[in-house]
Amino acid sequence: MDPHKARIVPLLTETQIARRVAELARAVSADYAGRELVLVGVLKGAWVFLADFVRGVTIPVTVEFIAVSSYGEDTESSGVVRITSDLKTSVEGKHVLLVEDILDTGLTLRYIVRHLSMQRPASLKVCVLMDKRERRRVPVEADYVGFQVPDRFVVGYGVDCAEYLRNLPFVGYVDESPEPEEEAR
């Protein structure tokens, strides 16, 4: 799929996203009141979500990043997850909230949760902007979910198509139906 020619159908507006991200930040702030929290953003997809989310959190936080690869330039996960950049500081004994853009098959999230759990944090929870339940291949759930989304290839608000379209201020899905001229042929 050529991301430059992709037809994007809006799914979540800027306003809907901003409202829900603020709600998630308030919920996390209340749940972790009186404690410090380490937010671990999953690169590259979660950085836009994390940037907005962290500004709404009202408790002391630090931010770390972990980068993983399972898609490459494909639109389907390969199922093989690898860490391409790990945390720079220890999370042992700390409260950790993993922040991810989308929970899809669950393979990537399960891998990262297991990886972080081995570092013995005081607690480990997961916050995702989008959850695509019908695609789940392994039993994994998020503690905080922004939106349930349909089984479509979504882009925007940090989520990419072959590294493009992350800069869309909304979330949309790629319309892969044939163009009307193509159907007539």
104 is catalytic: yes
Q: How far apart are CA 119 and CA 116, in angstroms?
A: 5
Residue 87: its pLDDT value, please?
93
Q: Single out the catalytic residue among 52, 74, 101, 104.
A: 104
Per-residue pLDDT tens digits for 26-83: 999 999 999 999 999 999 999 999 999 999 999 999 999 999 987 555 545 556 788 8
Per-residue pLDDT tens digits for 160-183: 998 999 999 999 999 987 766 655
Domain ranges of the chain: 14-149
Share of the chain above pLDDT 70, in %: 91
Residue 78: its pLDDT value, please?
53
Residue 82: its pLDDT value, please?
84
Two tokens, residue 165: 């379209």
Q: What is the pTM of this model?
A: 0.89
Query: Please, what is the average pLDDT of the chain?
Result: 91
CATH of domain 14-149: 3.40.50.2020
Instruction: Give the residue-averaged pLDDT of 86-109.
Output: 95
Q: Which residues of 49-83 are buried (b: 16+ CB within 10 A; e: fewer)?
A: bbebbbeebebebeebbbebbbbeeeeebeeebee
Residue 81: its pLDDT value, please?
82
Residue 111: its pLDDT value, please?
94
Q: How far apart are CA 41 and CA 64, in angstroms?
A: 6
Q: Count the alpha carbons within 13 Å of 30 in the hemisphere toward its beta carbon.
A: 7
